[in-house]
Amino acid sequence: NPTIRGQAQGFLVLVTYGAGMLIGAQSTGWLFNELVSGNGAGTMEQWQIYWMVPAIFAAVVMAFFAAMFYEKNAATASERGA
């Protein structure tokens, strides 16, 4: 149904670019204040910890997608040429 598909795409954009960017900006701002800016200019170790947090979060999200979104019927995928 094209109407529902359009609504789903709109909702995905809202969640990704609206709420996702808002939560991401607020959480990284808080993380920066806690790890880096509160201690002067910030050492290399503080910056490494700062960038490790979003890297680990991205790895967890990637593992979630890999586990949840897989081809349920491998024979059908090979027949389509995927």
- Cα(9)–Cα(76) distance, integer angstroms: 26
pLDDT tens digits, residue range 18-73? 998 999 999 999 999 888 876 666 678 888 889 999 999 999 999 999 999 877 76
| Count of Cβ atoms closer than 10 Å to residue 35 Cβ | 19
Whether 82 shows a pLDDT value over 60: the answer reads no
Q: How far is CA 77 from the centre of its chain?
A: 27
Q: Which residue has tokens 């808080």?
A: 30
* Tally of domains in the chain: 1
> Phi and psi dihedrals of 41, rounded to 5?
-75, -25
pLDDT at 44: 80
Q: What domain range is 23 assigned to?
A: 2-80
- Cα(42)–Cα(30) distance, integer angstroms: 15
